[in-house]
Chains A and B, each alone.
Chain A
Amino acid sequence: MAAAGSVAVALHVAEVLETIVSGCLGPEGRQVLCTKPTGEVLLSRDGGRLLKALHLEHPVARVMVACVSSHLRKTGDGAKTFIIFLCHLLRGLHEITDKEKDYFIFENIQTCGRHWKNCCQWKFISQALLTFQTQILDYIMDHYLSRHFLSIFSSCSKERTLCRSSLEMLLGAYFCGRVGRNHHNLISQLMCDYVFKCTACESRFEEVLEIVDDCFVELKVGVTGLPVSDSRIIAGLVLQRDFSVYCPADGDIRIAIVTETIQPLFSVSGSEFILNSEVQFQTSQLWITERTKAIVKHLQSQNVKLLLSTVKQPDLVIYCAGLNGISVVECLSSEELSLIQRVIGLAPFALPEASSQYELSHTALVEFCKPLILRSKRYVHLGLMSACSFTPHCVVLCGPVQGLIEQHEDALHGAFKMLRQVFKDLDLNYVTQTSDQNCTSGPCIYENSRENNELPKIVNSSIQRSYQDTVVKSKGELAKTQTNLKVCSNLIVPGVKLEKNVLCSGPKVAVTDSYQTEETLRCSSPNKGTIMDDHEPYIESNSGNSTTENTRREISYGNLQVTKLARKDSMLPLRYKSLKMCTSQRYYFSSIPAGCVLPVGGNFEILLHYYLLNYAKKCQQSEQTMVSRIIANALLGVPKILYKSKKGNYSFPQVYVRALQTLQTNQPMISNQTGLESVAGKYQLLTSVLQCLTNILTVDLVISIERQPREICDQDSEEEL
């Protein structure tokens, strides 16, 4: 059976999903209860989990869920916003195409049926979306949005140190959307304390986050039946098992790790043990006993008070250890072992081959080792002495029901994932045109400069124009940078603006460069592009300014790829023409620096909305204008839901109008929200949604095929992974 894939269908599906997830969005969001076939109940506000729990059958819905899962794997956050944003985008597209059925005219396909015509139209739009995502979005982020970014780091120096209050704000906002509203303060405070308690050296917090993210399962203990407010952090490591034998010990406690049984066995794998007489058997047993005793005795002489074993030890070993005052913990999981090894850097000790050589160097000191009883269940509590920047602490999560504890665990784990993302740089790259006026494809940086109209009609002297424009633009940018700096003390100045200063101070460099580029272009064969890397002059200028973390490289390519693209698009005469006229492009590589944040409450969305609309006004290309408009309007969907319950001065229209006014008058944005959210996360979300939309639009027909159940099963398991 085949069904036509269309925006109307996708919109319908997305709207259904939206009604479910929008109820959980933001600080006013509510909980969802999921029941499993086993009878367990799970509480969740995690969009990804909810979408999976629905077990959707609809093909379009499955595509969406798959896209959300792959996004979550990358970032660990934003599933609900994903669905809402996608839904608004589809709504925007649907409205546009309803109004302007004949917006795109394709002469060569008029003979085909209407459905196919629509499909081609969708394909066209999806290509426009792709162009937007790869070129315009990065450009706008870099040129306009970046001036609003705040940093989570406490100082602008090269040394990154975490600022507690900003971290609290970031986590507070995160947990507002993830856990029940009567607990988010408590959980975010718990997490904040945890991060700072675990971080021995402030500047190496990233290592800590990595360890905690990797080993979170081993670092938390869930206790049901107690109120959530009893959740706490305890120093040291808690192993979720009891001692096989426990001997209280004081003073220097050394531990050793074994990965095999201490008691020698009659025969090892692949060997034979031949028994010729009963006496031989008895002697062998005696020897085994003696040897086990000797090894344990030796451990005792090395002051080992605790033996951690990954395997089950025979009764004899446990007995001997007990006699010698050595506590034993058996059956450690490989994850627990690797965590302990990471923390104390201790290798398992190898059993001596001959009975004479007892060299035992692999022991480590621990502060304490005692049983811990939580709700009548016994655990092993170890005070490890850390050899790395991670000081081990465990988080004990309490709650009346298991489902709630799982929700808090998921949220905490997700928060660590999110933090790791926040502290990563995110690359941006885009192309700008440096050619004549007629060039209409791609973002044109000169369009917004007033000089454009006043310039003499010297079409050929692009070098001169480029020079003038740069100067004018740089001046404007510089002024803005300064105002921003005055307003926000902890604002990080992105590399982009500094770059402008550089350009301003050394315009000659820029001019010669672009000149050279054009030269090479003209000279180079169409099969070969030349890369000009004028990296050095910028480094030179940047060295004086410590706030710049990323030097930006500007590379000029020959437009080999562009001409290729043009050929591909030759069925669209307009585009082909315009591309042909472009003679030069600049490839920019920039980044969103690590730790960039914006206040919550739809700040990112409103900012991007504003700049996209501005861009759309100036853009001369109809399809880009349309795409930018649709995206700009869809962006408002999230803040609309966030402000739904607010009244009066804090209602959405009021907030929106105020924001637009401040932006138009170039004043700094003032937010009444206390939380922060990651810019990189938002950016990634946007690109993921656009990719998902492209996916949906490019499919013209959904064919249901008969398959073996096993294959379907495999597919399911892949999705779950």
Chain B
Amino acid sequence: MSRLEAKKPSICRREPLTGERAGARLAALRGLLTSCYGPAGRLKQLHNGRGGPVAATSHSAALLAGLPVSHPVLKVLTAAVRNHVACFSDGGLFTAILCCNLVENVQRLGLTPTTVIRLNKHLLSLCTRYLKSEVCACRIPVDFGSTQILLSLVRSILTSKPACMLIAKEIDHISTLILKAFLLTIPENAQEHIILGKSIIVPLKGQRVIDSAVLPGILIEVSEVQLMKILPIKKSDSFKVAVFCVSLSGDLSDTGEGTLLVSYGVSLENAALDQLFNLGKQLVSDHVDLVLCQKVIHPSLKQFLRTHQIIAVDRIGVSLMEPLSKVTATVCSLLLCNRNDTAWDELKLTCQTALHALQLTVKEPYVLLGGGCTETHLVAYIRHKTRNEPESVLRDERCSQTELQLITEAFCSALESLAGSLEHDGGEVLTDGKYGHFWSVQANLPSAVNWPDLPSRCGCGLYSSQEELSWSFLRSAHHPFPPQTCLSHEAKGSANTLTLDCFTAKLSGLQVAVETASLILDLSCVIEDTN
């Protein structure tokens, strides 16, 4: 009867962001996401309190999928982040936190949305142009001649998900496996148009992480009894496989819209079975060794095949059929083990993220410096750029010098707080005055110690504090300086244990975050349909 009810009028709310409630909810969401960010991030336990599965995660996809969001503005934000993750697998938390920071920072300023949106767009294009340019010092071109950079990328992704519960040795092992699996999906004789193969992740629960492995080809689950009968396979020279995607159960397929009149005594089942046996005989005479069927094989045919030493496996399912049809191409199976179900789920998600990141890196052969260094470097670049060349902006965007400075500061501090949220243990975050990189030092240092000497390596691991660097606190007022552009060659070479981020995913995340923030700031009213 619900269909017949008249519709209730909607609720219309003006200025959805100015209310105290909205502000508090946004802050709550930001706090929740920030605490998950990075290798030292805290885990969140998701459960429904009614005996459902429990998940401990810090992965944005798992987190946002389970998080109930009621405020319409937050719905927009989470939807944007989830769509980004669906596209790129990586950089969800980055996008979400940056977007929250931007909205909150700009909201505080009280400028008109027009100015804010125009200038944010300008600053964004400043960032993307720099990141795509050759002089960019936080981008490293990928050398496919060695595995170093790719391995660092995979390791950084694994490290950033503490819910996988891996120790350093295990991380090394799994990283190698992931890279191997990825390399197995690249066709041998590749022409100009490469179609990557598939890597199937197979759960091996209850075994040690170190037991995880990569196998070329496909694994098909067979019951143990059947397996005992199959083994040992004597033949070694050639092994013929027949794959069927149609049902071999002998049922009658579509006979048309008219009527089918069957005379008394005529059995269509028998007729169909006859044909199945003919097929069986054909398979035997063709010396087929293995018959795979997506759907059901008739028990009599199965029996027939077994008596002729042909292995028959049915009900493969549609999900395995696609890689099966490509079996001659490039498919591999990644057997993953982990300590418990929750950790395994997180590890699987992380492996998929890493494989996806590798694919994206092949398309766009660059990686970005991780560990907060890209963010702090960008901040230094933007500050310097808007301070020293504001004329063109002021002319093009029709705004005042003060407005430009306010928005730039809001944008930069959003990026800085994002980098700063990598530090969860109360440590101090510093930035240097030469490269604009991210350095963190332990908390509660004895006052006698000269703290600037303490950080040994920057967030991404590219620079060490051996050089004479000037330090300043992140998020403290300091003079804008031109960060050193153009990565030096020795820096590229020393890329042993760098923390790296996927270039494509991060760049798109940056754009999505700024666009979504502009969208949210542009809202003048919310109409809620309460039906």
Q: Give chain A's interface residues, CB within 8 Å of chain B.
A: 19-20, 23-24, 28-37, 39, 41, 43, 50, 53-57, 180-182, 224-229, 265-279, 281-282, 285, 314-315, 375-376, 399-404, 645, 709-710, 712-713, 716
Contact = CB atoms under 8 A, between A and B. Distances in A.
B411 interface: no
B83 A35 contact: no
Contacts, number: 203
B52 interface: no
B16 interface: yes
B113 A271 contact: no
Contacts of A272: 258-261
A45 B446 CA distance: 58
A709 B512 contact: no
Given A35-B528, A265-B256, A267-B258, A400 B9 contact: no
Given A276-B266, A716-B7, A404 B512 contact: no
Given A30-B524, A53-B527, A400-B83, A709 B5 contact: yes
Contacts of A645: 112, 114
B479 interface: no
Interface stretch (B69-77, B284-292, B340-348, B400-408): B69-77
Contact of A33 (B3, B16, B114): B16
A275 B260 contact: yes
A655 to B, nearest CB: 18
A561 B522 CA distance: 55
A270 B526 contact: no
B266 A23 contact: no
A275 B522 contact: no
A37 B254 CA distance: 41
A710 to B, nearest CB: 6
Contacts of B6: 709, 712-713, 716
B72 A274 contact: no
A227 B512 contact: yes
Interface in B445-492: none
Interface of B: 3-10, 12, 14, 16, 72-73, 75-76, 79-80, 83-88, 112-114, 117-118, 120-121, 245-246, 253-263, 266-268, 270-271, 274-275, 508, 511-512, 515-516, 518-519, 522-531
Contacts of B525: 20, 23, 32-33
Given A225-B88, A275-B261, A37 B112 contact: no
Contacts of A43: 76, 519
Contact of A275 (B9, B113, B245, B266): B266
Contacts of B7: 55, 716
Best-buried of A29, A279, A401 by chain B (most CB within 10 Å): A401
A265 B268 CA distance: 16
Contacts of A227: 508, 511-512, 515
B12 A20 contact: yes
Contacts of A226: 87, 508, 512
Contact of A31 (B14, B266, B519): B519
B258 A266 contact: yes
Given A278-B268, A375-B87, A712-B6, A33 B527 contact: yes
A247 to B, nearest CB: 13
Contacts of A285: 275
A28 B118 CA distance: 12
B12 A54 contact: yes
Contacts of B267: 278
27 contacts: A20-B12, A30-B523, A31-B524, A32-B525, A33-B525, A33-B526, A34-B529, A37-B529, A50-B527, A54-B10, A55-B8, A55-B531, A181-B522, A182-B117, A226-B508, A227-B515, A265-B255, A272-B260, A278-B267, A376-B87, A399-B515, A400-B515, A400-B516, A404-B519, A645-B112, A645-B114, A709-B4
Nearest to A34: B527
Contact of B72 (A30, A35, A50): A35
B524 A225 contact: no
B185 to A, nearest CB: 15
A390 B515 CA distance: 34
A401 B12 contact: no
B527 A54 contact: yes
Contacts of A401: 76, 79-80, 83, 516, 519
Contacts of B519: 31, 43, 180, 400-401, 404
Given A180-B519, A709-B6, A33 B260 contact: no
Contacts of A314: 253-254
A265 B12 CA distance: 58
Nearest to A33: B526
Contacts of A315: 245-246
A225 B527 contact: no
Given A31-B519, A267-B257, A713-B4, A229 B527 contact: no
A686 to B, nearest CB: 26
Contact of A54 (B9, B268, B512): B9
Given A53-B529, A55-B7, A55-B10, A180 B260 contact: no
A34 B10 CA distance: 9
A399 B512 CA distance: 8
Nearest to B95: A400
